[in-house]
Amino acid sequence: MRKPLNLIIGSHNHVSYGASDEEFKEIYKRRLKPFILALHKYPAVQGTLHYSGTLLHWIERVHPEIFMLLKELISRKQVELLGGGFYEPMMPLISQTDRIGQIEMLTTYIRQHFGKRPQGCWLPALAWDQNMVSVLERCDMAYTFLPEEDFIQAGLSGEDLYAPCLTEDQGKLAVVFPLSSEFREIQAPVFTALEKIASETPSGRERLLLVGPNPANEKDMNDLFEDLCRCEAFVDFTTPGKVCKSKQDLKKVYFYASSEKEPGTKGVPSHPKHFLVNYPEANGIYSKMIFTGALINQVKGDKARKRVAQEEYWKAQVYDALLRTESGGIYRNSLRNAVYHSLLLAEKTTRKKGVFIPSLATFDIDLDGEEEYLFQDDHINFYVKSRGASVFEFDFLPKAWNYLDTFRANNSQVKEKRPLFKRMAFTDILADSAVPWAALADTGFAPETRDPRIRFCGREQYLARETDKTREKACFVLGPAQGSRAVDSIEIVKQYHLKKDALHVRYSLTNLGKERGEFNFVPRIDLSFPGEGYLYQRIAKITAGGREDLGEGAVEALQVLGLEFGDIKNELIITVSSDKSFDCRLVSIGANCPVLGVEKRFYQSTCMLPLSSLSLEAGASWSADYTLKITY
């Protein structure tokens, strides 16, 4: 007699490229090791496992004994190991060539180390678009998995939510298994729950459940497996590969493009590209990926160089750095740093030594429908937006570091809001003298919190007045705004010039009103370092009398000509200076995010607020030259 329940016990674990060794150890201790040991102890229970390539590689190096145990479980056909993208990319965001390459990279690794090619594929972030079917068929992957919510969106209900289905694209076919919402994560005791489901299943029918155990330690895992073994009277433990071979007459279904919900959000899964709108920082990474991929495709005649660039590029496609995940995801500067590091290494690899020519190019780098300006020399990239005429990416190639890889949030901001503005450099602010420093650091991100005493020029459209690509110069003009405030009458002329590892910015402010205007001018600059505090940054002020170190935790420097930031990890100095003295406030920017249920703060950047108090008669002008320079 056939048993009413087919049960697939599955476990998916991944640690992002760029994560610390402690994170690998934590996942290994809490989830991976207890599950594998329990499987070995209870041979009646079959398991389906997916581990990302980064995690498998770490296990191979650090815990070869578990690697050997995995081999034994696979050889005795108790465990089925799934394939997927080696670096856990969000598949709908990358090209078909990269999808195939990432899947084949993990497939090759599994075949070489475990002697068996995977039959099925796990989709990172459960991100789907219908043309994934052709990719799965091309990679010889017979099946994959999607959440039960995706099946409901596709129009299925009732018993159809507990059975695999067939889906198609361009004549190619793949089997899709539903991940049961009832038992996405299970803990002991489960006997009563499974017995109830079995009793409710119509006679002669089977109900397929895919479940993912999540006990916290080895004892809890053993208790769970003891409970599962008690269910053998009405449960058949199986694997998706065996189900695929035995199932016929599968219902054909077409699924909407979707991805896994972010932690703490409600409703159906979202479109896999929605987060590019919710997070401008994610769009920055995605745009950089598109740009870097184009550079790699232009490499001709040097397969070795192209292959090295390609692998660095694949490392950067990890989905964790693009949206909020249980481990923090995009909120964590360490993950974003790792992504930019790989993208910049890939970009460096595409350049032939000794033949790179400094340049100024214009094109839509961030995919917003407007042209941006890319200043490049041998060591530095500066990307400037015409809206706000601000620098939104600042790359130092010798260290493969983006000093504008920051995040907009601050501790004072409401965490649920997602203002669509990114922290940048030389973001211009005109404000009443009574506006506090903190408002200047946070202004411009959430439209509903705008201060009427502040003219935030970062959201205004500057006009490109003059571009000299040969000399790497670009000039932008912002006219007066509508309004009666003193700051609304101010015109800003702003010229960028890249020369010898330094970006020079010349400002000219003119009062085009009929009355004298008094206001503060702040070209806000956010710089993202490897961390905050004296172990990561040493800051000094530059005055007419010389250079003086600021103590750890210093937040203010008055009447200075510049600030010097010593980056301890990258062993270089970034200097922001001016030919006019200014007062400066430093604000450490952090972002709060729950990580496995615990609220944590992640450092993002050091916000520099160079303030000049101005009083301009009608028709009068003020000018200043600022320089952002790297010394190494």
- The secondary structure of 370-401 as a DSSP string is S-EEEEE-SSEEEEEESBS--EEEEEEGGGTE
pLDDT over 60 (residue 268) = no
Lowest mean pLDDT among 128-132, 356-360, 392-396, 579-583: 356-360
pLDDT over 50 (residue 416) = no
CA distance 148 to 208: 12
Map residue 184 onto helix, strand or coil: coil
CA distances from 241 to 7, 47, 118, 244, 284 (A): 13, 11, 9, 5, 39
DSSP string for 191-234:
HHHHHHHHHHSPTT--EEEEE-B--SSHHHHHHHHHHHHTTTTT
Q: Where are the beta strands (DSSP E) in 38-164?
A: 47-51, 79-81, 83-84, 121-122, 143-147
What confidence tier does 290 reach under pLDDT thresholds 50, 70, 90? very high
pTM of the model as a whole: 0.93
pLDDT over 80 (residue 75) = yes
| pLDDT, mean over the chain | 90
pLDDT over 90 (residue 207) = no
Q: What per-residue confidence (pLDDT) applies to 278?
A: 84
Helix (H) or strand (E) holding 534: none
Q: What is the pLDDT of residues 232-265, one digit of tens each?
A: 888 888 899 998 888 778 999 999 999 987 876 6
CA distance 550 to 73: 59
For the stretch 268-296, what's the b/e string if a residue is b when 16 or more beta carbons lie within 10 angstroms of its beta carbon?
A: ebbebbebbebbbbbbbbbbbbebbbebb
Mean per-residue pLDDT, 140-151: 94
Q: What per-residue confidence (pLDDT) applies to 421?
A: 85
Q: What is the pLDDT of residues 293-324, one digit of tens each?
A: 999 999 998 999 999 999 999 999 999 999 88
- Please give the CATH architecture assigned to the domain spanning 5-246: Alpha-Beta Barrel (3.20)
Output the CA angle 88-317-165, nearest 5 degrees. 45
DSSP string for 578-590:
EEEEEEEEEEEEE
pLDDT over 90 (residue 163) = no
Strand pairing category for 425-431 and 463-468: unpaired
Q: What is the pLDDT of residues 421-473, one digit of tens each?
A: 899 999 999 999 889 888 899 888 866 557 889 999 999 999 999 899 888 99
The full length of the chain comes to: 632
- Express as a percent the part of the chain with pLDDT over 90: 71
Q: What is the pLDDT of residues 608-620, one digit of tens each?
A: 999 999 999 999 9
Residue 484: DSSP 8-state: S
Which phi and psi angles does 127 have, rounded to 5°? -85, 130
Residue ranges per domain, the chain? 5-246, 280-355, 357-631
Q: What per-residue confidence (pLDDT) applies to 221?
A: 86
Q: What per-residue confidence (pLDDT) applies to 193?
A: 81
Q: What per-residue confidence (pLDDT) applies to 595?
A: 81
Q: What per-residue confidence (pLDDT) applies to 548?
A: 95
DSSP string for 117-148:
--SBEE-GGG-B-TTHHHHHHHTT--EEEEEH
Q: What per-residue confidence (pLDDT) applies to 185?
A: 63
Q: What is the pLDDT of residues 537-552, one digit of tens each?
A: 999 999 999 999 998 8
Mean per-residue pLDDT, 366-385: 94
pLDDT over 50 (residue 411) = no
- Residues 461 and 444: beta-carbon distance below 8 Å: no
Helix 303-315 and helix 96-114, axial crossing angle in degrees, nearest 10: 90
pLDDT over 70 (residue 216) = no
Closest C-alpha among 235, 333, 320, 264 to residue 596: 264
Q: What per-residue confidence (pLDDT) applies to 5?
A: 81
CA distance 464 to 477: 6
CA distance 306 to 328: 32
Q: Where are the beta strands (DSSP E) in 417-555?
A: 425-431, 454-456, 463-468, 473-478, 490-498, 502-511, 517-527, 537-543, 546-549
- Residues 229 and 44: beta-carbon distance below 8 Å: yes
pLDDT over 80 (residue 181) = no
Mean per-residue pLDDT, 545-571: 94
Mean per-residue pLDDT, 363-375: 94
Q: Which CATH number fits domain 357-631: 2.60.120.380, 2.70.98.10, 3.40.50.12780, 3.40.190.10?
A: 2.70.98.10
What confidence tier does 414 reach under pLDDT thresholds 50, 70, 90? very low
pLDDT over 90 (residue 594) = no
What confidence tier does 379 reach under pLDDT thresholds 50, 70, 90? very high
